[in-house]
Amino acid sequence: MTLTLPDTIENFRLTPGEVRVELACALYARGLIGRVGATELAGVDFFAFQHALGERGIPIVTAQMLEDDLASLKVLFPR
């Protein structure tokens, strides 16, 4: 996929790599992409992406993820 940005993006002084990280963080924050896919989109390693999320105040683990994990545990380990 090719994304063409207007020349005015240069006014923000963002490198193409920084734009990729910003896009990946935004898509992850909206729940449109998972951590692995977002890491690949950002073009950084997993830990660098987690750091980028932290810098932006984006939770690494969401309430929905915790609920899903809890539901899985209940299935795996019923009482």
Q: What is the largest CA-CA distance in the chain?
A: 60
Please choose, from the candidates 15, 35, 16, the residue with its C-alpha nearest in 3D space to the C-alpha of residue 24.
Answer: 35
Residue 44 makes CB contacts below 8 A (sequence gap 6+) with: 21, 52
Q: Where does residue 9 fall: left (phi above 0), alpha (psi -120 to 50 degrees), or beta otherwise?
A: alpha
Domains of the chain: which residue ranges?
A: 10-76
Residue found by looking up tokens 């940005």 in the block: 5
pLDDT 10s digits, 34-66:
999 999 999 999 999 999 999 999 998 878 888
pLDDT 10s digits, 19-37:
999 999 999 999 899 999 9
Question: What pTM, to 2 d.p., does this model score?
Answer: 0.75
- Enter the tokens of residue 60: 């690494």
CA 23 remoteness from chain centre: 8
